[in-house]
């Protein structure tokens, strides 16, 4: 056998890519002559030693892991794991809004409420989300590399780990990140003024003649035409609420799908469809202001706002008489802890309201 | 069922532990700068945890990691304008064949045209390292990716955008070159040992040690 031939065969063997016939051929060659065996050993040694020699440089893995921990939010494994099994039977959990009534946009942007579903539906929801993510992955691979090409090595990642964070940007703009939100931009913050957002944030944008500020989320690109806006870049949907000025809201999956959102308006992009609610949610910036203000607010949406504010799912017990539907909430909370808020709600609504594990449960007495 | 979050976290840590050093070393082959290599790998792990957690549970993670490091390293170099991507040309193929045919004589010149001091290292590892350093660029790239990642021919082919046959041929070529390189230097070593022996017995000329 020629040198080229047996080296290819040995390599295939080392890579576990030989066919049975090739394997037999290799064996035969090895048995023909002891020098063949030595040759095999020499090639094998080079093959294995090369791996070691190439990966010779030692990098500080511990330090790198620590650095990752400072940027990312990891689950706290020191705490006993919270069981996802609800205490009540699954049937009593809040049905998806579509069962009761048309989902209002304010429901759609409250993941804590949407998340409060029977456990089976919840895992189904998760699965769907994962499926959607992998489809996005297939479509998005090229795009991601294209984008990372521009920001690699010099990007700044800001995470609001423990609570809301107020961040001045180099161009004079300000961003308020809600807890858990991640903002990424290229440093130095160049004339493009492009940021990436995951989660919820309020932007107060500086006007620059050099060009608009743009915010990229998982699904959308939002470009500045005015000055301040709130963006919620959630896994399933994006929402923009403009307080002053106006913005251009573009579906990343379909760049021809564009909405201009003006001051005082909101717009939601979910499943590639834009929707807008006429009624303004007075508490859309509670996480930033620390204030929850309810005036004749239906119990359902008030409960959802409280849950959203404290990051807790909400469960409303079955209400055959429809009594809860009639309850309106009038209250104002200013930087008050959860227990105080619940206490006041109990007093004003006459409901039994308590926190069970990580869920707020509302029940008729 | 485990809580998916903590399960993912453990998987993330395991993937990090397994691949961190190899990935940094792999990035280093392009970047030649330890800090930037680590930045690239750090960015990649951030990206995975933030956006691509589903990848952690898939057996293609190795393919994904090395391909991303490769692409991002090349992008980094382009951005730094330190590098022009080596094109796969017939000229290079021909060059590789010639270099190959030169056998042991190969050690006297480097294909990259860089200055290489004469070989005096009587050390197998050192020799192998020099041998790898003197592989033709594309051949070396395929070889290095294979040795760092332990990917299959098919994965390497897909990662680099070349055919499976090319991967196989380039790996074969790398091994042939390294084999003959070591063989050639083996002769050289034998010669050096004989000289040393002659020196010990006091026959060698001009071999006064002090």
What φ, ψ does residue B25 adopt, rounded to 5°?
-65, -40
Q: Is the pLDDT of residue B185 over 60?
A: yes
Range among A117-131, A148-162, A260-274 rated most confident: A260-274
For chain A, which domains are there? Answer: 3-51 (no CATH), 155-275 (2.60.120.1440), 286-363 (3.55.50.30)
Q: In CATH terms, is domain B90-200 a member of 3.30.2040.10? A: no
Helix (H) or strand (E) holding A58: none
Nearest CA in chain A to B32: A57
Q: Which residues of A touch B49 (CB under 8 A)?
A: 68, 72
What pLDDT is attached to residue A280?
A: 67
SS3 call for B196: helix
Residue from A59, A120, A149, A216 to probe the interface with B (highest B Cβ count within 10 Å):
A59
Inter-chain CB proximity B38 and A64 less than 8 Å: yes
pLDDT band per the 50, 70, 90 thresholds, residue A290 = confident
Integer CA distances (angstroms), A281 to A97, A107, A241, A325, A357, in order: 18, 11, 10, 18, 28
The CA distance from A50 to B147, in Å, is 7
- Tell me the helix, strand and coil percentages in chain A, rounded to 5: 40, 30, 35
Inter-chain CB proximity A81 and B6 less than 8 Å: yes
The CA distance from A181 to B92, in Å, is 49
Query: CATH 1.10.10.10 in chain B, residues?
Result: 90-200
CA distance B152 to chain A (A): 7
Inter-chain CB proximity B43 and A155 less than 8 Å: yes
Q: Is the pLDDT of residue A250 over 50?
A: yes
CA distance A360 to chain B (A): 21
pLDDT tens, position by position, B42-97: 999 998 888 787 788 777 888 999 999 999 998 888 877 554 444 444 334 444 44
Mean pLDDT of chain A: 72
The CA distance from B21 to B29, in Å, is 13
Average pLDDT rounded to a whole number, residues A87-92: 32
What pLDDT is attached to residue A218?
A: 77
Q: Which of B9, B75, B182 sits opposite A152 (nearest CB)?
A: B75
Q: What is the DSSP letter of B53?
A: G
CA distance A319 to chain B (A): 31
Inter-chain CB proximity B47 and A148 less than 8 Å: yes
End-to-end, the C-alpha distance of chain A in Å comes to 89
DSSP H helices, B60-163, are 61-80, 90-102, 124-133, 137-149, 153-160
Inter-chain CB proximity A11 and B49 less than 8 Å: no
What pLDDT is attached to residue A306?
A: 92
What pLDDT is attached to residue B69?
A: 94
What pLDDT is attached to residue B210?
A: 28
Inter-chain CB proximity B125 and A126 less than 8 Å: no
Mean pLDDT of chain B: 74
User: B195-201 long-range contacts, Cβ below 8 Å, gap at least 24?
Assistant: none
Q: Is the pLDDT of residue A154 over 70?
A: no
Q: Which residues of A touch B68 (CB under 8 A)?
A: 145
Inter-chain CB proximity A155 and B22 less than 8 Å: no
Residue A33 tokens, joined: 């002559």
Q: Which of B52, B152, B179 sits opposite A17 (nearest CB)?
A: B152
What pLDDT is attached to residue B70?
A: 93
What pLDDT is attached to residue B170?
A: 94
* Cβ density class B133-164: b for 16+ within 10 Å, e for less: ebbbebbbbbbbbbbbbebbbebbbbbbebee
Q: What is the DSSP letter of B154?
A: H
Cβ–Cβ pairs < 8 A, chains A and B: 145
Q: Which residues of A touch B39 (CB under 8 A)?
A: 152-153
Nearest CA in chain A to B168: A8
Q: Which residues of A touch B6 (CB under 8 A)?
A: 75, 77, 81
Beta pairing partners, A237: A270
Q: If you write DSSP's letter for every residue of B108-127 in order, what string do you get?
A: GS-TT----PPP----HHHH
Range among A74-83, B72-81, B117-126 rated most confident: B72-81
Inter-chain CB proximity B72 and A55 less than 8 Å: no
In angstroms and rounded to an integer, the radius of gyration of the C-alpha atoms of chain A is: 28
Inter-chain CB proximity B72 and A182 less than 8 Å: no
Q: If you write DSSP's letter for every residue of B1-41 in order, what string do you get?
A: ---HHHHHHHHHHHHHHHHHHHHHHHHHHHH--HHHHHHHH
Q: Which of B47, B68, B172 sits opposite A8 (nearest CB)?
A: B172
Q: Is the pLDDT of residue A153 over 80?
A: no
End-to-end, the C-alpha distance of chain B in Å comes to 74
What pLDDT is attached to residue B83?
A: 47
What ipTM goes with this model? 0.71
Inter-chain CB proximity B182 and A46 less than 8 Å: yes
Inter-chain CB proximity B54 and A133 less than 8 Å: yes
Residue from B4, B21, B57 to probe the interface with A (highest A Cβ count within 10 Å):
B21
Residue B142 tokens, joined: 């395929």
The CA distance from A287 to A282, in Å, is 12
Where residue A35 falls (left for φ over 0; alpha for ψ -120 to 50; beta otherwise) is alpha
Q: Which of A7, A67, A148 sits opposite B175 (nearest CB)?
A: A7
Residue A280 tokens, joined: 């303004």
Beta strands, E only, chain A = 155-159, 165-168, 174-177, 182-186, 194-204, 214-216, 220-224, 228-233, 237-244, 246-251, 254-262, 266-270, 273-275, 291-298, 314-316, 328-334, 352-356, 359-363
Residue A337 tokens, joined: 């802890």
The CA distance from A338 to A119, in Å, is 25
Inter-chain CB proximity A49 and B76 less than 8 Å: no
Q: Which residue has the tokens 């703009």?
A: A173
Inter-chain CB proximity B125 and A11 less than 8 Å: no
Inter-chain CB proximity A42 and B182 less than 8 Å: yes
**Range with the poorest average pLDDT among A174-178, A327-331, B34-38:** A174-178
Does residue B209 have a cis bond before it (omega within 30 degrees)? no
Average pLDDT rounded to a whole number, residues A181-210: 78
Residue from B46, B77, B166, B180 to probe the interface with A (highest A Cβ count within 10 Å):
B46
Q: Is the pLDDT of residue A210 over 80?
A: no
């Amino acid at each position: 056998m020629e040198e080229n031939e047996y080296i290819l065969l040995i390599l295939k063997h080392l890579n576990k890519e030989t066919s049975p016939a090739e394997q037999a051929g290799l064996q035969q060659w090895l048995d023909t002559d002891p020098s063949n065996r030595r040759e095999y050993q020499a090639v094998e040694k080079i093959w294995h030693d090369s791996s070691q020699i190439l990966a010779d440089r030692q990098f500080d893995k511990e330090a790198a892991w620590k650095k990752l921990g400072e940027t990312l939010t990891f689950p706290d494994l020191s705490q006993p794991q919270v069981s996802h099994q609800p205490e009540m039977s699954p049937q009593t959990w809040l049905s998806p809004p579509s069962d009761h009534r048309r989902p209002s946009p304010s429901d759609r942007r409250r993941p804590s409420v949407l998340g409060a579903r029977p456990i089976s539906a919840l895992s189904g929801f998760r699965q769907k989300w994962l499926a959607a993510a992998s489809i996005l992955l297939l479509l998005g691979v090229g795009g991601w590399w294209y984008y990372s090409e521009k920001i690699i090595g010099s990007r700044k990642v800001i995470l609001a780990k423990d609570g809301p964070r107020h961040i001045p940007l180099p161009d004079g703009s300000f961003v308020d990140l809600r807890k858990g939100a991640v903002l990424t931009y290229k440093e130095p913050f160049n004339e493009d003024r492009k940021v990436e957002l995951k989660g919820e944030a309020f932007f107060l944008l500086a006007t620059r003649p050099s060009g608009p500020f743009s915010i990229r989320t998982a699904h959308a690109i939002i470009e500045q035409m005015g000055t301040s806006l709130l963006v919620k870049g959630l896994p399933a949907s994006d929402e923009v609420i403009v307080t002053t000025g106006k913005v251009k809201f573009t579906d990343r999956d379909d760049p021809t799908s564009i909405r201009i959102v003006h001051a005082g308006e909101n717009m939601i992009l979910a499943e590639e469809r834009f929707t807008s609610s006429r009624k303004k949610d007075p508490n859309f910036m509670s996480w930033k202001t620390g204030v929850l203000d309810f005036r004749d607010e239906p119990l359902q949406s008030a409960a959802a706002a409280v849950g959203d504010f404290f990051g807790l799912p909400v469960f409303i017990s079955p209400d055959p008489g429809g009594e809860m539907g009639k309850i309106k909430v009038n209250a104002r909370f200013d930087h008050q802890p959860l227990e105080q808020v619940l206490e006041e709600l109990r007093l004003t609504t006459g409901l039994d309201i308590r926190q069970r594990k990580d869920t707020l449960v509302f029940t008729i007495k | 069922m485990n809580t998916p979050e903590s399960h993912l976290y453990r998987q993330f840590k395991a993937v990090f532990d397994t691949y961190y050093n190899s990935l940094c070393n792999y990035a280093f082959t392009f970047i030649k700068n330890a800090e930037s290599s680590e930045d690239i790998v750090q960015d990649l792990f951030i990206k995975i945890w933030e956006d691509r957690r589903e990848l952690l549970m898939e057996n293609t993670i190795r393919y994904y990691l090395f391909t991303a490091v490769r692409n991002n390293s090349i992008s980094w170099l382009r951005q730094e304008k330190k590098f022009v991507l080596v094109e796969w040309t017939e000229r290079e193929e021909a060059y590789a064949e010639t270099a190959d045919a030169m056998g042991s004589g190969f050690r006297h010149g480097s294909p990259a045209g860089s200055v290489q001091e004469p070989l005096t290292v009587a050390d197998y590892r050192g020799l192998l390292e020099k041998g790898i350093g003197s592989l033709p660029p594309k051949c070396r790239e395929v070889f290095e990716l294979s040795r760092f990642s332990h990917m299959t021919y098919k994965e390497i082919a897909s990662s680099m955008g070349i055919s499976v046959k090319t991967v196989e041929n380039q790996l074969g070529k790398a091994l042939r070159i390294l084999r003959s390189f070591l063989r050639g230097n083996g002769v050289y070593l034998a010669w050096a040992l004989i000289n040393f022996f002659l020196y010990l017995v006091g026959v060698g000329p001009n071999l006064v040690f002090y």
